[in-house]
Amino acid sequence: MHYRPLGRTGLFVSELCFGAMTFGGEGYWKNIGQQGQAEADALVGKCLDAGINFFDTANVYSYGQSEALLGKALAAKRSQVVLATKVRGRMGPGQNEVGLSRYHIFDSVHASLKRLGTDHIDLLQIHGYDAATPLEETLRALDDLVREGKVRYLGASNLAAWQLMKALGLSDHRGLSRFESLQAYYSIAGRDLERELVPLMKDQQVGLMVWSPLAGGFLSGKYRRGAEGPEGARRTTFDFPPVDRERAYNAIDVMDTVAKETGTTVARVALAWLLHQPHVTTVILGAKTQAQLDDNLAASELRLSPEQLAKLDAVSRLPPEYPGWMVERQNADRFPPAR
């Protein structure tokens, strides 16, 4: 296993992170996974044996069950890992049981600590933007939790570039703890964040945690052009995240060729492509079975050749969009090609 610094911090995390969204299976989350304690223990144990030291969940996953199951699975190993969870989602029917108000953040964190069976959260992430709450209120509440020792680092998830930059600017101006990471959707079939978020993260030294690296299973190798996915597969009941299927099928065709060249699988190639991107800190695995996890873990050791990477980049490259194409054109004479 390889380890990378989280943003500009001195914290090193494994380049593969285990995501516990599939633990529990309560209500809406049944479509994603229904792992109980025995399955959680086995999957977490295999991850620990493989050298993974980074585990991610959220309070809203199965309404707290995911946190509880993950906390018990880690048990005595808690002090050896970086534990991340999230706050924002609705945790009850009340008017203030959702969002990023000081009220909801404090209540949610205290509840998460109990479920996780720990006295601190290593990385607390806001699970999106809350337009109803002033950003400064959110940032001050999060900073207070850091100062109290209940949280060690802060992160964000699913923010637009302007929202993340505004938060970083406020934190810097007010002397508050800042977001050190962004958890965002990214895959070879969905490279949208490269337009605005990746340049921002590079400039501000914010780490990137990738969720749904296999595009909700679409890049698992189970889906091919002109054929239905297997019965019971996740995408048959939960078609998320959105995918441009023709562009994705084109990428799968090339990944299939690379998989045959390297003696691996399409899923492993998709994960390895992400691990070759310099702006990626860690890729979150959402494997539901031991076999899936074994294949995913092997992606850490798959080295793609420059030629293979070039083919994968070409087939999945984003179409030009303004102002990106203008910025590139204007900078061409400032950074001429090396001779």
d(CA 113, CA 328): 47
Based on the residue annotation, tell me whether 63 is a catalytic residue of this protein.
Answer: no
Environment class of 147 (CB within 10 Å of its CB; exposed 0-12, middle 13-18, buried 19+): exposed
* Count of C-beta atoms within a 10 Å radius of residue 260: 12
Q: Which pair of tokens denotes residue 41? A: 């223990």
Q: Which helix (H) or strand (E) holds 55?
A: strand 54-56
Cα separations in angstroms, 161 against 125, 135, 155, 197, 199:
16, 15, 14, 5, 9
The answer to whether the CB of 207 falls within 8 A of the CB of 7 is: yes
Whether omega for the bond prior to residue 241 falls within 30 degrees of 0, making it cis, is yes
Catalytic residue from among 3, 61, 153, 322:
61
> Do the strands 121-126 and 282-285 form a parallel or antiparallel pair, or are they unpaired?
unpaired
Q: Which helix (H) or strand (E) holds 197?
A: helix 197-204
Environment class of 46 (CB within 10 Å of its CB; exposed 0-12, middle 13-18, buried 19+): middle
Sequence-ordered alpha helix ranges (H) in 245-333: 245-262, 266-275, 290-297, 306-316, 324-331
Q: Looking at the annotation, which residues are catalytic? A: 61
